[in-house]
Amino acid sequence: MQKFQNNNESDLKQQEKKQLSKAKIDKKNWQEGQTQQTQPPTVRIDEQFPENQYPIGEIQYYQRDQAFRTSSAEFKEKDKLMDAQIQCLRKAAECHRQVRKYCQYLIRPGKKLIDICEQIEEMYRFLVSEKGLDEGIAFPTGCSLNNVAAHYSPNNGDITTIEYDDVCKIYSGVQVQGRIIDRAFTVAFNPKYYKLLEAVKESTNTGIKEAGIDVRIPDIGAAIQEVMESYEVEIDGKIYPVKPIRNLFNHSIKFYRIHGKKSIRCVKSGPNVKMEEGEQDAIETFGVINGKGIVFEDGE
- Confidence at residue 251, expressed as pLDDT on a 0 to 100 scale: 84
Residue ranges of the chain assigned to CATH 3.90.230.10 = 39-53+67-189, 190-300
- The arithmetic mean of pLDDT across residues 100-116, rounded, is 94
- The arithmetic mean of pLDDT across residues 127-136, rounded, is 94
Q: What percent of the chain has pLDDT over 70?
A: 88
- Confidence at residue 61, expressed as pLDDT on a 0 to 100 scale: 83
DSSP strand pairing (161-162 vs 280-282): unpaired
Band (pLDDT 50/70/90 cuts) for residue 2 is very low
Would the pLDDT of 256 be above 50? yes
- Confidence at residue 74, expressed as pLDDT on a 0 to 100 scale: 80
- Confidence at residue 169, expressed as pLDDT on a 0 to 100 scale: 95
- The arithmetic mean of pLDDT across residues 82-111, rounded, is 92
Architecture of domain 39-53+67-189: Alpha-Beta Complex (3.90)
Q: How many CB atoms lie within 10 A of CB 53?
A: 10
Would the pLDDT of 25 be above 80? no
- Confidence at residue 27, expressed as pLDDT on a 0 to 100 scale: 43
Q: What is the DSSP letter of 74?
A: H
CA dist., res. 180 & res. 139, Å (int)? 10
Band (pLDDT 50/70/90 cuts) for residue 17 is very low
Report the range out of 84-88, 109-113, 215-219, 264-268 with the highest average pLDDT. 109-113
Band (pLDDT 50/70/90 cuts) for residue 32 is low
- The arithmetic mean of pLDDT across residues 63-77, rounded, is 79
**149-170 tens-digit pLDDT:** 888 999 989 999 999 999 999 9
Contact 275, 263 (CB under 8 A): no
**172-182 tens-digit pLDDT:** 999 999 999 99
Number of helices (H) and strands (E) in the chain: give both, helices first: 8, 13
Per CATH, the number for 190-300 is: 3.90.230.10
Band (pLDDT 50/70/90 cuts) for residue 294 is confident
Residue with more model confidence, 68 or 253: 253
Would the pLDDT of 140 be above 60? yes
CA end-to-end span of the chain? 21
Would the pLDDT of 70 be above 60? yes
Cα distances from 65 to residues 85, 213, 228, in angstroms, run 27, 11, 24
Contact 154, 144 (CB under 8 A): no
CA dist., res. 127 & res. 251, Å (int)? 26
Q: What is the DSSP letter of 248?
A: S
- Confidence at residue 299, expressed as pLDDT on a 0 to 100 scale: 77
Residues 6+ apart with CB under 8 A from 154: 112, 113, 114, 117, 143, 160
Please, what's the b/e burial string for 120-154 (b: 16 or more CB within 10 A of its CB; e: otherwise)? bbebbbbbbebeeeebbbbbebbbbbeebbeebbb
Q: What is the DSSP letter of 87?
A: H
Which of helix, strand or coil describes residue 168? strand
